[in-house]
Amino acid sequence: MRTIGTKQSRQAGMVSILVTMLLLIVISLIVLGFAQIARRNQRQSLDRQLSTQAFYAAETGINDVRDVIRQNINAGTTIAAKTDCDPASAAAYAPPTLNPTVDAANGISYSCILVDPTPSTLVYGSIDSTSTIVPLISASGGNITSVTMTWQSKGGSATPVTGCPTVVAGVFNAVSSWNCGYGIVRMDLVGTAGTLTQAGLQAGTMTSFLVPLNNVGSNSLGFVAGTANTNNRFGVKCSNTNCNLTITVPASTQYYLRLSTIYKGVSLQVTTTDASSNPLKLQGAQAVIDATGKAQDVLRRVQVHIPLTPSSTTQLPDYAIGSTDAVCKRFVTLDGFFQSFAATAVAGLTSITTPPNPMCQ
């Protein structure tokens, strides 16, 4: 009996040891798991902080380069290109003109700056009711033979075209309200190379209202200018992703494009090609600045298109006259004569320029 009792005690002791070891292993795994989660959360929090710092460092680089470009524009000097990350590859952007170090103690800087003053794609984030002037000037001197415009909703999200107009027997259908995700784009396109005259500009300007259509219409258009413009209203085939239109133009090194929208604003991109369908670089419109910010071991890259002409909007008035109230127009036309003030145009007609005027009630 003593032998049996001793064996049972020993067995019970072994079971206790095994249970204790098993519990220790389980508790250790749980502790290690929580420690791993804590370290991961700490690293994620640090990465987010470093990512924000790197982003701000990249924005600092963008703003520093923008200041250099603005100074060059004001001084009338050529904007230099920078095609690699070597700080000394372009003197205009080398220290001490630029100081890439933002916070040396915490390892924050912008590590790479790229500048393209003649991009092949012009990007406009907001084309709306106020006109935007887009210079299309070939940087190489090669002739522009086509202009392509691609536009999306401002948010960049998918835009349903189910509410866009359709065409019946070649005529745009009437709609009681505008439910299309795209607005109508108004486009004025004119060649400006060579000698310019008022009559030449009037005769050489193509004006079109580009109506987005629901998977009908066309994505190509011929250049027709002047008062006989048969493409003054044109249906563009659109999808849920975007609308795009390619205009075949007479070969020229320089065009100007004036853009605005009706009903809804859009974001829009413009490209041009030569006779061999090769993309052309464009000067005088935008510069592309590409900056990489660094915070310790975290990198953030930012690319922006900046205008090179501060008056790229509203260079030309959108209206002859604008008012918050009703406008009464009073004028007199005679054979071979026009006068906006009837009282001085024809003697005895002062009454029509002084209230009450039935035409202005």
pLDDT attached to residue 12: 63
Q: What spatial distance separates the first Cα and last Cα of the chain, rounded to whole Å?
A: 125
Give CATH 2.60.120 domain extents, the chain.
118-283
Q: Rounded distance, CA 47 to CA 42, Å?
A: 9
Q: φ and ψ at 70, to 5 degrees?
A: -60, -40
pLDDT single digits (tens) 66-81: 999 999 988 888 899 9
DSSP labels for 195-223?
---HHHHHHTEEEEEEEEEES-SBSEEE-
Q: Write the DSSP symbol of residue 232.
A: S
Beta bridge partners of 287: 306
> Of 40 and 132, which is predicted with more confidence?
132
Tokens of 85: 């990350």
pLDDT tens figures, 14-55: 777 888 888 888 888 888 888 888 888 777 788 889 999 999
Q: Quote the CA–CA distance of 32 and 246 in Å, as a whole number.
A: 62
> What are the two backbone dihedrals, phi and then psi, of residue 114, each rounded to the nearest 5 degrees?
-125, 140
- The three-point CA angle 173-177-178 to 5° equals 80
Q: What is the pLDDT of residues 262-287, one digit of tens each?
A: 888 899 999 999 999 999 999 999 99
- Which residues face 307 on adjacent strands? 286
**Domain at 118-283, CATH from 3.30.1490, 1.10.10, 2.60.120, 2.40.128:** 2.60.120
